[in-house]
Amino acid sequence: MSRSICIIGVPLDLGQSRRGVDMGPAAVRYAGLDHRLERLGCAIRDCGNIEIPVRDTLPEEGGLAYMPAVVEACERVYAAGARAVEDGDVPLFLGGDHSIALGTVAAAATTGEPTGVIWIDAHGDFNTSETSPSGNLHGMPLAALTGRGAPALTDLIRPGRKVADEDVVLIGIRDLDPLEREALKDSRVAVYTMREIDRRGIGEVAEEAVGRLSHLPRVHVSLDMDSLDPREAPGVGTPVPGGFSYREAHLLMETIADSVRVGSIDVVEINPILDERNRTAHLAIDLVLSGLGKSIF
């Protein structure tokens, strides 16, 4: 592959109420990430972990009270990712909960070129502080990245949206909050639900979805492991039944690798506390490799 990968760990668990996803970067590294990437032909540079505020030192109420700490953490994520992009590397961010995408997508878009986002998730992450039933920040990053929500989130790094609605594709959606659903319907974001995937098949949907972004010079892939069915990936922060099978997820990632220029990846919501013998971390590595071009033949 001869691609240079910069691995950036983001042990952030402040965006949700369930503990454990802060151990996701360690779980993925322990599962042999470096070795697997090297076997693919990639040059590896592990840039270590971003410094994250310790949750137990913050106010106990969580939710929106953690916004300043999440913003601070994502500013550091952005800085590390932007350095990697400037160095010509592909940043590979290991989460952590999905609020890290506030920094990862901003870093992907730092070149000034139009940047596409493929958001693979059971959830829309399109809430704002006004629409979220829980107030958990990991349900808000995509709204903020497209310019919706609290200014502290939308104006992180630079004012306004980091990516245009029409340059975002959501795939695997099956759990939306009521007001979040309406916001997505009113947007120009392309949404492919599991119902549509069941009806049309993952191959057809993947080609159509990814084809929407094939004209763009670079694409960021945001892979939430709860997009997979919990039978495949039990160790996730917010599991939802009815997700991708093992082969469906691989076909999607292989289609992405075949169709667009993947400039950066984040993989999020791995919770080793809930996992079985680190299965979810191993699967995450397999899917990242497929997204970087690994194929059966």
- On the 0-12 / 13-18 / 19+ scale of CB atoms within 10 A, 297 is exposed
Confidence bin at 17 (pLDDT 50/70/90): confident
pLDDT tens-digit readout, 204-225: 999 999 999 999 999 999 999 9
Peptide bond into 96 cis (omega under 30): yes
DSSP code string of 68-92: HHHHHHHHHHHHHHHHHHHTT-EEE
Please confirm, yes or no, whether 226 is among the known catalytic residues.
yes
Q: Is 220 one of the catalytic residues?
A: no
Q: Can 98 be counted among the known catalytic residues?
A: yes
Q: What is the pLDDT of residues 38-74, one digit of tens each?
A: 999 999 999 999 999 888 888 877 899 999 999 999 9
Q: Binning pLDDT at 50, 70 and 90, where does residue 110 land?
A: very high
Catalytically annotated residue among 22, 254, 269, 275: 269
Does pLDDT of 193 surpass 60? yes
| Mean local confidence (pLDDT), 113-120 | 96
pLDDT for 62 equals: 83
Please write the tens of the pLDDT for every residue from 147-192: 999 999 999 999 999 999 999 999 999 999 999 999 999 999 999 9
Residue 123 appears among annotated catalytic residues: yes
d(CA 84, CA 86): 5
Of 226, 232, 248, 254, the catalytic one is 226
pLDDT of residue 178: 97
Nearest to 251 by CA among 211, 205, 212, 284: 205
Q: Domains in the chain, ordered, with CATH?
A: 4-291 (3.40.800.10)
pLDDT of residue 61: 78
Per the prediction, the chain carries an average pLDDT of 96
The residue from 89, 97, 138, 167 that is catalytic is: 138
Mean pLDDT of 260-285: 98
Active-site residue (options: 13, 89, 97, 98): 98
- Average pLDDT score over residue span 92-96: 97
Q: Which of 13, 22, 97, 125 is catalytic?
A: 125
Percent of the chain with pLDDT over 90: 93
Residues with Cβ within 8 Å of 250's Cβ and at least 6 positions away in sequence, in order, are 286, 287, 290
pLDDT at residue 228, as a whole number: 98
Active-site entry in 89, 123, 220, 248: 123
User: Which of the four pLDDT bands, split at 50, 70 and 90, describes residue 232?
Assistant: very high
At residue 1, does pLDDT exceed 80?
no
Among candidate residues 13, 22, 97, 224, the one labeled active-site is: 224
Q: Tell me which residue of 68, 63, 64 sits closest to 52, measured CA to CA.
A: 68
Q: Is 224 a catalytic residue?
A: yes
CA neighbours within 13 Å on the CB side: how many for 260? 31
In the set 13, 121, 232, 254, the catalytic residue is 121
Residue 250 known to be catalytic: no
Residues in Cβ contact with 88 at an 8 Å cutoff, skipping those fewer than 6 apart: 4
Average pLDDT of span 96-112 = 96
pTM beyond 0.95: yes
Query: By the 8 A CB rule, do 13 and 20 touch?
Result: yes
